[in-house]
Amino acid sequence: MIRIVFDFVWVSILVAILLGLIATVIPALGTSGTALGTMMGAMVSGQLYGRRMRAEATKGFAWQVAVVITIVTLVLTAIVINLMRRSGGFAELGEVSVTAYAIGVAFVGVITLLIVRFFFRWGSKTGAKSVGGPS
């Protein structure tokens, strides 16, 4: 599981950085890096898992991975937001009520959970097929 989370995190960060750099040239991209980073991270970690195991992830395992990755993502996001707030960025977050913040975190958590579950399982299926494993 640690290897899967590591694969997810490095791909997500790399995609977010690359899309952030591209967004400086093409501002219309906006903040699409977050969702695309999550999708690509889940897909690549699923593919690597499928290649290593030579099998598609079961539905139950895909849900387990999605829960763990969602928790890790929310924790890393909270750390980054706190660091940015302390450095003077995101001052407007101080004006957001705790209830609104909790609803936002819950919404993002559910969306992340569903995205990771779908793309991890899909990636594991394509990874297993690429090495000739059962589909």
Among all chains, which residue has been given the structure tokens 């928790």?
A: 71
The secondary structure of 15-48 as a DSSP string is HHHHHHHHHHH-GGGTTTHHHHHHHHHHHHHHHH
Percent of the chain past pLDDT 90, that is, above it, reads 50
Q: What is the pTM for the complete model shown?
A: 0.84
pLDDT over 60 at 135, yes or no: no
For the chain, percent helix, then strand, then coil, each to nearest 5? 85, 0, 15
pLDDT tens digit sequence for 88-113 = 776 677 777 878 888 988 999 999 99
- How does pLDDT run across 55-85, given as a tens digit for each residue? 999 999 999 999 999 999 999 888 887 787 7
What pLDDT does residue 52 have? 93
User: How is residue 127 written in tokens?
Assistant: 């990874």
Residue 54 φ/ψ region, left for φ over 0, alpha for ψ in the -120 to 50 degree band, beta for the rest? left
- Averaged pLDDT of the chain: 86
Q: Is the pLDDT of residue 34 over 90?
A: no
pLDDT of 16: 82
Residue 42 has pLDDT above 80, yes or no: yes
Using DSSP, state whether 13 is helix, strand or coil. helix
Sole residue written with tokens 């992340």: 112
Distances (CA, A) of 68 to 1, 21, 63, 97, 130: 9, 29, 9, 27, 26
